[in-house]
Structure 1
Amino acid sequence: MTSSFYNNSQHIDFDSVLAMDNPGMVSMFQALMASGLAGFLGCPAVIYEAALVDFFENASVREGVIISTVAGQLVEISEEWFAESFDLPVDVSLSGKKSQMKVEYRLLCDIMAKSISVKTGSFNAITVEKFSMVTAVVCGVRMNWARVLFNILKKMVTPRSNQAKGFAAQISLLLENIPNLELGESSEFPASKIPTEKTVHRYVSLNDKGGAKEAADAPLMKKAPKKRPAAADFEAPVIKKKRKMKKKSGSSKAFWR
């Protein structure tokens, strides 16, 4: 399979990951399901490579609809059909308001903004795209995922956009549902790209080792050279030997310099 079609794609086996003995990971995957992304991320993992090649080579966007030709047949993908195919939320758009968050995360937002950021102006805006997506999932912010994901797909198929190919399983499913479309042979989505209980454990293990390796590879702090004892602020008086005299000389006095 052409790697460009799955390097930036993932399919999630929700049944497997939700059975993990890892509360943190299970909570994260449950949040993905609650956000309405289960149908998109967990769709059937079947790939039609030849059809995908045709789709991306011939695709363009016209009046908000993706148009392409696959095996000589016209293909049109609208946002509405895209949303319906994966049962994606369509009724809410991300406004960036903390009022959409669960109350515990509203408090966290205030703590971070007012106690750490310490800046004037609105504390309610979520401005970074990827961070806002993660925030929407974890904090339960309702989002129009249909529009977000369809806009990403439109960028993928825009000529000269230099966007990486992705959504391999999702596009394959859409093409599979077009009547009388010849798709050619199918192949399974690479197992290494499917988060399951096994691959997630491996991911955790590799990242833990990576963190340890980074610490091991970090430049060692040079040990500070041992300081020599500080020189005395004075020198011990030197007692000069005197020649023996018939009379005993008085003891010499010592002077502090």
Structure 2
Amino acid sequence: MAASFISNALQVNFDSVLGFSDNEGMVNMFKSLESTGLCGFLGCPSVLYEDELVSFFANSIVKDNEVLSCVQGKFVEITEDIFASVFELPTDGLTYLSKVPKDLIFDAKSIFSMSGEPVKISCKKREMKYEFRLLNDILEKSVSVKAGSFDVVMHERFLLMTAIHFGLKVNWSKLLFDILKEMADQSSKISKGYAAQICVLLKGDPNLTLGEAKTFQPLKILTVKTVGTYVSKNKNIAYDETDEPVVAKAAVVKKKAVSKKRPAVTADEPVLKKKRTTMGRAALSDKNLAIVSVVLDVEPISVIHVAAPKDQRCRAQKRKLVLRNESEEESAVEVVVEKEAVKADVDNIDNIIQHVIAETAEFETGEPDLMEPVVTVIAGSEPVEN
């Protein structure tokens, strides 16, 4: 469980990082951080007493501006004065970050920016220079240790970074002790931190006999080596970020290349449906309606339909159509129809229908014989008597 406490920890070895010669901006940032009075707080011994640290947070309460707890069955009291004296924290200066001058905040937006363009107060870390990204991480892990809205938390850290960079006096004693009280409050949702600092306070209590001490992981302590690794990783990340638009563009081109196999249909283009073949009886079409046969008889008129060929793929040069009379099946009349018949349009079909109606009316008024000849009507031509 103690591992969760040290996850919010980032100690600074000032003797080491101030000798970082490869990056002037990084060295200036650490010098500004040292001049604020946080050297004793951030550079305290990085030791961890796991059992005592877990017991401290499990039994801690806040009462009358004091942090009280029970460790090893003994009473532990931490006041603001004790806290400030152990870490040699400044007790005068700004107590509210809202008092940071607005003109300094305006200048910091351009100074912190990686591109030179003013950034927003709640900007992302990748928009800032390497040294200010690291300063943001130090404040996040070792100072503020707050959870909540990204904009609110980032806004607070931006103000802290502005105060540190321009060397403003800050009452770090009150600011840090107020954060410790929030951690000790059982009803607070703030993350637990200050692991190294609390262990230093417990070690200084004469009533406690602490157990075995463990050192922090090397990555939790900023030295010349870890800072150099941090800079190199951020340079690679910055390089990848500049390449992101190129990668995105290539992905779009690839997608368009694939879409050539099946082009998208726009609003101006008609949708072409794939023709389906049927194995059953063919549907009626203009070619089927090209020939209309009518049988005239004393009986009700019956129309003999010409069946369309089942397999339209086999095309013969000539087709024979046999028309049979219902009364005399033996005397069949064979009619040879040419394959290349004239296609009938809408007007020709209307003319054919009107012609058939006229013939039918004439037949009803006259006195025909028992057997009338079969009349074959071909679209686009005059009726032919067989």
Aligned length: 212
Extract unaligned runs of 5+ from structure 1: 118-126, 226-257
Cα distance between partner residues in 1 of 2:18 and 2:44: 16
Q: TM-score, normalised by structure 2?
A: 0.50
Distance 1:44 1:199 in 2: 17
Q: Distance in 2 between matches of 1:54 and 1:201?
A: 37
How much has 1:69 moved relative to structure 2?
0.6
Tell me which residue corresponds to 1:50: 51
Could you tell me which residue of structure 1 aligns to residue 31 of structure 2?
30
Preserved CA contact (<8 Å) 1:18 1:26? yes
Is the 1:14–1:42 contact (alpha carbons within 8 Å) kept by the matching residues of 2? Answer: yes
Q: Deviation at 1:5?
A: 1.6
1:89 maps onto 2:90 in alignment: yes
Task: Provide the secondary structure at the position in 2 that maps to 1:35.
Answer: helix
Question: Does 2:153 correspond to 1:152?
Answer: no
Q: Go from structure 1 to structure 2 and tell me whether the alpha carbon gap of 1:156 and 1:16 turns closer, same or farther (over 3 Å shift).
A: same
Q: Paired residue for 1:220, among 237, 248, 254?
A: 248
Higher strand share: 2
SS at match of 1:69: strand
Distance 2:207 2:184 in 1: 23
| Alpha-carbon distance between aligned partners in 1 of 2:157 and 2:105, rounded to the nearest angstrom | 19
**In the alignment, does 2:174 pair up with 1:175?**
no
* In structure 1, distance between residues paired with 2:187 and 2:20: 42
Deviation of 1:158 after TM superposition, in Å, equals 0.9
Matched, 1:3 2:3: yes
Structure 1 position 106, deviation (Å): 8.0
Following superposition, the deviation at residue 207 of structure 1 comes to: 1.4
- Contact 1:100/1:142 (CA < 8 Å) preserved in 2? no
Closer/same/farther in 2, CA of residues 52 and 74 from structure 1, 3 Å limit = same
- Report deviation, 1:215: 3.6
Letter in 1 for 2:87: F
For the 8 Å contact 2:48–2:215, the answer to whether it is kept is yes
Displacement of 1:165 after TM fit?
1.4
Which structure would you say has the larger RCO, counting Cα contacts within 8 Å and 6 or more residues apart?
1
Q: Does 1:188 align with 2:180?
A: no
Over aligned residue pairs, what C-alpha RMSD do you find? Answer: 2.9
Change in 2 beyond 3 A, CA 1:85/1:100: farther
CA gap 1:106/1:48 in 2 versus in 1, 3 angstroms: closer
User: How far did 1:183 drift?
Assistant: 1.6
Alpha-carbon distance in structure 2 between the residues aligned to 1:175 and 1:59: 13
For 1:11 and 1:29, locate their aligned partners in 2 and report how far apart those are by CA, in whole Å. Answer: 12
1:108 aligns with 2:88: no
Q: Provide the identity percentage.
A: 42
CA distance in 1, matches of 2:7, 2:14: 20
Q: What do residues 134-186 of structure 1 show as CA deviations (whole Å, max 9, x unaligned)?
A: 11101111100111111111111111312211111110000111003022110
Matched, 1:15 2:9: no
* CA-CA distance at 1:211 after TM superposition: 2.1
- Superposed CA deviations along residues 208-241 of structure 1, whole A, max 9, x for unmatched, are 1122233444552346x9xxxxxxxxxxxxxxxx
Q: Are positions 1:202 and 2:229 aligned together?
A: yes
CA pair 209-188 structure 1, distance change in 2 beyond 3 A: same
Gaps of 5+ in 2: 112-117, 120-153, 257-386
Of 90-99 and 199-208, the range deviating more from structure 2: 90-99
Task: Tell me the distance in 2 between the aligned counterparts of 1:188 and 1:107.
Answer: 41
Tell me, in whole angstroms, the C-alpha distance in 2 between the residues paired with 1:12 and 1:132.
21
Aligned-partner Cα distance in 2 for 1:65–1:100: 34
The Cα offsets for residues 56-96 of structure 1, whole Å up to 9 and x where unpaired, read as 10001001100001111100100111011100011122454
SS in 1 for 2:11: coil
- The separation in 1 between residues aligned to 2:233 and 2:59, in whole angstroms, is 39
Task: Give the secondary structure class of the aligned counterpart of 1:67.
Answer: strand
Distance 1:35 1:161 in 2: 28
* Mapped pair 1:136 → 2:163: yes
Matches within 5 A, 1:233-252: none
Are 1:94 and 1:142, in contact at CA under 8 Å, matched by a contact in 2?
Answer: no
Q: Which amino acid aligns with 1:24?
A: G
Structure 1 residue aligned with 2:60: 59
Q: Which has the larger radius of gyration?
A: 2
1:111-126 maps to which residues of 2 (within 5 A)?
none
User: Partner of 1:75: helix, strand, or coil?
Assistant: strand
